[in-house]
Amino acid sequence: MAAGACAVVGVAYADPLGGADFVLPRDVVSAGTAFEGYTHAAAGIDGRYASDAAVARDIRAAASYEPIQLEEGMIAYGAIVALQDEAYVDGVEDAAGRGAARAAFAARLLEDPFEATRVEGAEEATRRIEAALSVRAAPLVAAGSQVKAASYTVQHQSWSRAMVANAQDRLAEIKSVSASRIETSEADDQAMMLRVVALSSHPAIDSPVRQVSGVEARALALAAEAVLGRADSRDRDRLAPLLTESSSAECLRMAKLDLYQCMAVAGPSYEEMYCMGQHAMADTGRCIAAAAGEGEPTHVTQRSAPPASVHSSRRWRR
């Protein structure tokens, strides 16, 4: 991180206050906060259960994200990380030029976000984004795998083999929370940005970028728009092409659909644990990992019941 880069504590709205502040729309910053908060909370689920009530509580937490907001949040989070890289910020300024050339460069970023990857300093900024997203993805995948494994080992406890009494109501609740955007406060947003600054104080691993993903390219382009002063609240609609990426959107959408289908055919509690670990957590984590350049998003639709019972075992300133 550049020695002078820091988050400004205070309001995080997209209305610029002048100076060298970098501005993003308020709801975009909020999506970044929601992304960080969801991944942190879901990765803390450990699969240690002694009752169906505990399973119900955690499956709600594991599913508590709206796919569009989470995707926007990945991109926003990456953009905030990129804004901590002074070489990239300077590279954007140099590449943009002045006057009409500056406006034309900003327009090209919207048409082709990968234009941002050709800016001086983009490789290091991409490594930072890659590292930041991977840090969010890996614990979520690991926790999901742990919960999935626990869906087998917990079966020696009789409560886990009992049929879920309110399965349809539980599925309806999961669909409801999955359609609700997470609301964050200005204090939440500022705390998130301070954590990003702290994270960015540690240089990214000096290794070649695996493969610049569509999410990473859009994060770089969104950061560039902020550097150019074209990412405030008035620009929200214009920035829409940078806040979604087809592969990532489809991956997250399918993770949710697979979760719904899995829960619809689940019977006892241990089967819902399987649905939670595999689809709500691990599949979502793999979507985030793919956004960090770790291969292509994959999704396998759950077409049968879960495991058969075994009974025995705002702002940034330079």
Average pLDDT by consecutive 10-residue portion of the chain (318 residues)?
35 37 93 98 96 96 97 97 95 96 96 97 96 96 98 96 94 97 95 89 62 95 97 95 97 98 96 98 98 67 43 36
Examine residue 6 and state whether it is found in any structural domain, yes or no: no
Say how many domains are in the chain. 1
Place of tokens 């800016």: 119
> How many alpha carbons lie under 13 Å from residue 203 in its C-beta half-sphere?
9
- Of 221, 258, 213, 267, the closest CA to residue 241 belongs to 221
Examine residue 11 and state whether it is found in any structural domain, yes or no: no
Examine residue 16 and state whether it is found in any structural domain, yes or no: no
Examine residue 65 and state whether it is found in any structural domain, yes or no: yes
Q: How far is CA 199 from the centre of its chain?
A: 16
Range of the domain at 123: 22-317
Quick one: pLDDT at residue 306? Answer: 53
Quick one: pLDDT at residue 204? Answer: 57
Examine residue 15 and state whether it is found in any structural domain, yes or no: no
- Contact between 299 and 83 (Cβ < 8 Å): no
Say what the pTM is: 0.87
Examine residue 58 and state whether it is found in any structural domain, yes or no: yes
Quick one: pLDDT at residue 202? Answer: 64
Quick one: pLDDT at residue 207? Answer: 62
Q: Token pair for residue 246?
A: 């087809």
Examine residue 301 and state whether it is found in any structural domain, yes or no: yes
Quick one: pLDDT at residue 307? Answer: 52
**C-alpha distance from residue 76 to each of 24, 123, 275, 314 (Å):** 9, 18, 29, 11
- Over the Cα atoms of the chain, what is R_g? 21
Examine residue 63 and state whether it is found in any structural domain, yes or no: yes
Quick one: pLDDT at residue 282? Answer: 98
